[in-house]
Chains A and B, each alone.
Chain A
């Protein structure tokens, strides 16, 4: 009975070098994928414009869009739940901003605040129903996918007799909160780079002489901030531990005193918040809200999260991984165009990458967690 207290390690567990141990982490799949994808496009699409300033901005924005919704989806998935209403929420949030800010003429900052409150409340409702009924979140949020999309088509048609409401840019002119979502930063730096010939400038028209990229859109800033927030929350706080625990085994977590329901509820709300950030940035940039915005974005978010190494059933994953997944997704989506691949093959690629990522991630996860 006393032999176990001696310092013998189990001889069946192989020694693992510290280098390898550092390598084997949830983000590994995402890191490897990112390197592979960039290597690939540098090879096949280097001189296609993909890596000039306009091209870089193009895939960065698309990746940032994915990142914003992937952070929410990632934390929610780790907490053991799904939200399929993200895409519809994007369309819905944009439409509410347009109706409040344009049709009803509210000041834009108020329209944005009300919309955020409404979206987060809908997120909470999602969570409440899932927790109270014990139904799979898949079903509950699928219902909201239809409900929100339905309202997004119905409301503008009833009020304005069309499915797209424009004029948001004009209504948001000079609004301080609107520029937090639709503005650009570091404009001076880019102007200077344009003048110095580091990046290309427009050659004709009213903007001749301006640099082709005139700042970092707030969309990208939001993406970076949300990724940092999500990563710190997940790995460096008490609450992050609760997120893992709630998704890993809700019963065990409850037995240990983790407020599982509260955690899940907050994650549903955070996911809705992320969708709302996405929507607000989008309507501020494009100046209109449409009934078709955000179609299928929920799946794109989930794909990014899964490429980033999260486990679909919860309890395991990484926000950094999800961010890399979003980057891979965005770079591939735009890069295939640059590389001149027939556009109908886009989905084939997406499927292949998803499959490869999941296989790779499964191996990595098994190594870490000892699943069999």
Chain B
């Protein structure tokens, strides 16, 4: 499953620092992501995860440090640049419009057009066909392409968003807490989707604070704490307990865990 030895990293973030006025949100974070791997980015609330992925997706420009994408140093000025380069972000919310049909959502902002008598029209047939096909690939059987996204479960919506990003050529897929609001079954659906996407050679950056979700699908794990990385670990080199401890910054959780009987 680990293909990184055979490829160069698709994106490298080197010593990224981000300051907001006097606040240092990121104090030198480095990670690299390879095509076909799922790189889990773990951290507690306020650890700097959001700032980091916003830097990666072009929303923020880093105060210091370098982003190397596909071997080239990159300076993203806005999210569109990043999107065009092939970095897609699927947000926890704001991914889908429930009132609209799946196929309209799928092609939102990237509508296929066909010319009739010199005028461009939305190619609904193509959109419907592609949507049904892509959804089937991901294991979602729609009643029809006109089915509204509002009728889908939370996990299915994440899946639609993910497959949309992949269909439109994402090389790096950033998933911002895709499982945090989902039930057990839906979570496993999303994790299965991540697995499928990874196998297609897409680099997945999976942000979560749930260690079990990360271990279920991750190849490598980087833990962020207070704007710094505590290192990157390979799958199999680390236990859930160790990850949990790193996220919490060491000792505090150990004592807390003791009092809760090791259930956190």
Direct A–B contact in complex, judged by CB atoms less than 8 Å apart: yes
In contact, B121 and A369 (Cβ under 8 angstroms): no
Stretch at the interface among B9-17, B25-33, B104-112, B243-251: B104-112
Is B150's beta carbon under 8 Å from chain A?
Answer: yes
One digit per residue, 1 when the CB lies within 8 angstroms of any chain A CB and 0 when it does not, for chain B 57-86 equals 000000000000000000000011001000
A369: contacting residue among B83, B91, B111, B151, CB under 8 A: B151
Given contacts A241-B122, A370-B151, contact A255 B192 (CB under 8 A): no
In contact, B121 and A236 (Cβ under 8 angstroms): yes
Given contacts A7-B141, A238-B122, A241-B122, contact A255 B91 (CB under 8 A): yes
One digit per residue, 1 when the CB lies within 8 angstroms of any chain A CB and 0 when it does not, for chain B 89-123 equals 10100111111100010011111010000001110
Find the residue from B94, B95, B191 having the highest chain A CB count within 10 A: B94
CB nearest to A315 among chain B residues: B99
Q: How many Å lie between the Cα of A154 and that of B151 in the bound state? A: 53
In contact, A238 and B113 (Cβ under 8 angstroms): yes
In contact, B97 and A241 (Cβ under 8 angstroms): no
A257: contacting residue among B83, B97, B152, CB under 8 A: B83
Is A6's beta carbon under 8 Å from chain B?
Answer: yes
In contact, A369 and B122 (Cβ under 8 angstroms): no
In contact, B99 and A244 (Cβ under 8 angstroms): yes
| B135-166 contacts to A (CB < 8 Å) | 138-139, 141, 143-144, 148, 150-152
In contact, B99 and A248 (Cβ under 8 angstroms): yes
In contact, A369 and B98 (Cβ under 8 angstroms): yes
Q: How many Å lie between the Cα of A235 and that of B108 in the bound state? A: 13
| A314-363 contacts to B (CB < 8 Å) | 315-316
Q: How many Å lie between the Cα of A5 and that of B148 in the bound state? A: 21
Is A208's beta carbon under 8 Å from chain B?
Answer: no
**In angstroms, how far is the closest chain B Cβ from the Cβ of A369?**
4
**In angstroms, how far is the closest chain B Cβ from the Cβ of A238?**
4
**In angstroms, how far is the closest chain B Cβ from the Cβ of A46?**
39
Is A43's beta carbon under 8 Å from chain B?
Answer: no
Is A2's beta carbon under 8 Å from chain B?
Answer: yes
Chain B residues with CB below 8 A from A21, complex form: 143-144
In contact, B108 and A258 (Cβ under 8 angstroms): yes
Given contacts A237-B120, A252-B95, A370-B98, contact A245 B108 (CB under 8 A): yes
Chain A residues with CB below 8 A from B94, complex form: 249, 251-252, 255
Is B189's beta carbon under 8 Å from chain A?
Answer: yes
**In angstroms, how far is the closest chain B Cβ from the Cβ of A5?**
4
Chain A residues with CB below 8 A from B89, complex form: 255
In contact, B192 and A238 (Cβ under 8 angstroms): no
Find the residue from B91, B104, B113 having the highest chain A CB count within 10 A: B104
In contact, A5 and B124 (Cβ under 8 angstroms): no
In contact, A244 and B104 (Cβ under 8 angstroms): yes
In contact, A315 and B122 (Cβ under 8 angstroms): no
Is B195's beta carbon under 8 Å from chain A?
Answer: yes
**In angstroms, how far is the closest chain A Cβ from the Cβ of B60?**
15
In contact, A248 and B97 (Cβ under 8 angstroms): yes
One digit per residue, 1 when the CB lies within 8 angstroms of any chain A CB and 0 when it does not, for chain B 192-210 equals 1001100000000000000
Q: How many Å lie between the Cα of A278 and that of B109 in the bound state? A: 33
CB nearest to A237 among chain B residues: B122
Chain B residues with CB below 8 A from A255, complex form: 79, 89, 91, 94-95
**In the complex, given contacts A240-B122, A315-B100, what are 9 additional A-B residue pairs having Cβ atoms less than 8 angstroms apart?**
A6-B139, A16-B143, A245-B108, A248-B97, A255-B89, A255-B91, A316-B99, A369-B151, A371-B98
15 A-B contacts (beta carbon < 8 Å): A7-B141, A8-B141, A9-B141, A232-B121, A235-B122, A249-B97, A249-B98, A253-B97, A255-B79, A256-B108, A316-B99, A369-B150, A369-B151, A370-B151, A371-B99
Residue ranges of A at the interface with B (Cβ–Cβ < 8 Å): 1-2, 4-9, 13, 16, 21, 232, 235-238, 240-242, 244-245, 248-249, 251-253, 255-258, 311, 315-316, 368-371
Q: Kindly list the 10 A-B residue pairs having the minimum CB-CB distance in the complex, ordered from nearest.
A: A370-B151, A257-B109, A248-B97, A256-B109, A5-B139, A238-B111, A370-B150, A369-B150, A369-B148, A315-B99
Residue ranges of B at the interface with A (Cβ–Cβ < 8 Å): 79-80, 83, 89, 91, 94-100, 104, 107-111, 113, 120-122, 124, 138-139, 141, 143-144, 148, 150-152, 188-189, 191-192, 195-196, 216
